[in-house]
Amino acid sequence: MIGLNAGQVFGFSEDDRRERLLWRNPDGRGGWFIDINDDCAVPLCRGRAEIEELLAEGVLTECADPWLESGKALTEKQAARRDEAWEAIRPIAMAQPESFDPHRRAKLIQQRAAETGITRQTLYRLLRRWWQRGMTPAALTPDYANSGAPGQRKPDRGVKRGAPVRYGPQGLNADDRVRAAFRDTVTRYLARNRKLDITDCYHKCLELHFSDLVINEQTGRQEPVLRQIHPSLRQFRYWLEQDNDLFALARKRHTPRVYDKDSRAILGTSLDEVIGPGSRYQIDATVADIYLVSRLDRRKIVGRPVIYVAIDVFSRMIAGLYVGLEGPSWVGAMMALANAAGPKAAWCGDFGVEITEADWPCHSLPSVLLADRGEMLGPAADTLIQRFGIRVENAAPYRADWKGIVERRFGLIHKAFGPYVPGFIEPDFRERGGDYRLDATLDLDEFTALIINIVLYYNNQHLLTGYPRDPRMIAEGVNTVPIELWDWGIQHRTGMQRSYPEELVRLSLLPADEATVTAQGIRFYGCYYSCAHAIEEHWFEKARQTRTWKVPISYEPRRMDRIWLRDPKGRAPFIPCDLTPRNDTMRGRTLWEIDQLRQEDRRQKAQHAPTQRQGRIDLTRRIEEITRAAEARRPDDDRSKAARLRDIRANRAEERAANRPGEAFDLRPERGDPGTVLPFGKTPPPPADDYSLPDIDSIRRHLAERDESRDGDRDDD
């Protein structure tokens, strides 16, 4: 009995029975117990030997008190009923241990019933509740949670349940048939059409299940007519909540990705998976809500810039920044990561913002990078993994909440400059009228300087709200300012930063692709490149003599004068390759411009292709016509093959002689009638040698030999 106190609850291992110790005899001979789960229980006396034996055998063990709970807030009416119950049984409850004995208890209850007018059954019930629930005034609080028989179907006694209807039809009880109609409409319409609200779904239910088709005498068509007795909208709403999983219904109506983004439970924080500064960066882009003008001609509007931000999750420091006109793509992400890896003082100085390294100490790459699927999904991100050992994570589609930190920074940046900068896009610009694009004033350099100043403010002065500081931060007085969190994390948390040469980072982050080694050079997007390494290794000779092959390269899409050969394993240095002279016209052009030229070339070839095909058809037709005409003029020749082939040379000479008058150039200025030749004496006989006109090839050879002989004579002189 040592260690046992009144009010303790003990459970029996043999069954689910639990008993409460109501009274411990002062002489240690035992005590009084009561079963806390039995609605007809009465106090039971157990001796000391029995209790010790049950405890020793492990049959009786102490267990949790199911009625031990914090006091609930009660209304005045509920508190009054509790106090009335306590006043009714207080003389009996305080008469211990006499009230435990059944005979004495009966007399006490009989006496109290006569005094108060309360029935003996009520007094027994209140006294039993007092003992079973802990012997405190709170034990007498009525079980309001059980009012109305929650979870139980109300019986249908042929009358309308609920409050009587004052106006309109009396309605009907929602039985199984009505509830099935509700569920059918919810499943077919409300769950599939998010534009449909509950009221519309209710009316659809009335049309389908509580209307009769009646022929309209005027039109002769069947039309649904609502029955006089039909369920109410309130009934539809009630059973919608009772018979359906509202969260699953909302998830289906709004699609899982939208539900997970906007309505899911948020139990963790972004700090759950980070150790210190540099553990994890989040990177994202947004199109700024402002229009800019050209730096070359401020009269020209160049559109809206793109802002890329890489932010450290632990400290909320903006570690990398890019402001430019490159759309959200790998190129913009590359610039932001290169900015994160390099020092910031010189870069800020280019825009007229003078800072020290202490003002922006981030010049490293993270261990984990969380980004969108667009920029980091593909071979372009392999360099981050292979060369720098960064684990790249991609957020699921339409899950901007996975990058909530960087997404929130965009809102703060826009809020900072929006009210003060002309050309800013107001949310209600359609209602206000006018064209905000005409207000554009800043150029890209000025806007970049503006964003740099905003970033410096949020990094060095902005106090974060809701940042969960650990006790050590609080003890050391670390404010939730990003620069202080960064410095504290560098000193007290494990260092996860990775620093690399800025030039190496820039080259490594360039977009990667494959080029083809050909006999003309390294071909990429129709342009040919060469380098000393390829010439020394005889790449181009091998490509001409054997076959072409692919090599990995990196390129700067904004200027394609040079590409870089890269080692597939990421170990060897980058080798620059320049354009060959055959592509001098492509110098200074961007990849987009080169691609546009190639597309224009293909377009022109495609446009000319029908003309070429038609010309080839006409050519074939003319060849066939000429051939057929020649075959028609071909005479029959019964000579032998040898006879026909014997005189080819003589026939050629004869044909050549016949062609010469027509082929000879007549360079005389005028042509008249030929003069009369007067003979002088007797015509001499022809010489024995053949002085006929030689052919053109013989004349050219003779002239060449004569020129060579003249050159020899000059040399002798």
Q: Which residues contact 631 (CB under 8 A, 6 or more apart)?
A: none
At residue 153, the pLDDT reads 66
Is the distance from CB of 112 to CB of 123 less than 8 angstroms?
yes
Tell me the backbone φ, ψ of residue 65, rounded to 5 degrees. Answer: -85, 110
Element housing 18 (H / E): strand 18-24
The pTM of the whole model exceeds 0.85: no
At residue 408, the pLDDT reads 65
> Cα separation of 470 and 484, whole Å?
14
DSSP 91-106: HHHHSTTGGGSHHHHH
At residue 267, the pLDDT reads 43
At residue 625, the pLDDT reads 92
Q: What is the DSSP letter of 612?
A: H
At residue 401, the pLDDT reads 44
For the chain, list residues with pLDDT below 50.
Answer: 266-268, 398-402, 691
Helix axes 444-460, 482-492, angle to 10 degrees: 60
> Cα separation of 66 and 135, whole Å?
13
The count of residues in the chain is 717
566-592 pLDDT tens trace: 876 656 678 899 999 988 888 888 777
The string over 9-35, giving b where at least 16 C-beta atoms fall within 10 Å of a residue's C-beta and e elsewhere, is bbbeeeeeebbbbbbbeeeeebbbbbb
Pair of tokens at residue 354 = 């003078």
At residue 630, the pLDDT reads 92
Pair of tokens at residue 301 = 């509007």
At residue 698, the pLDDT reads 66
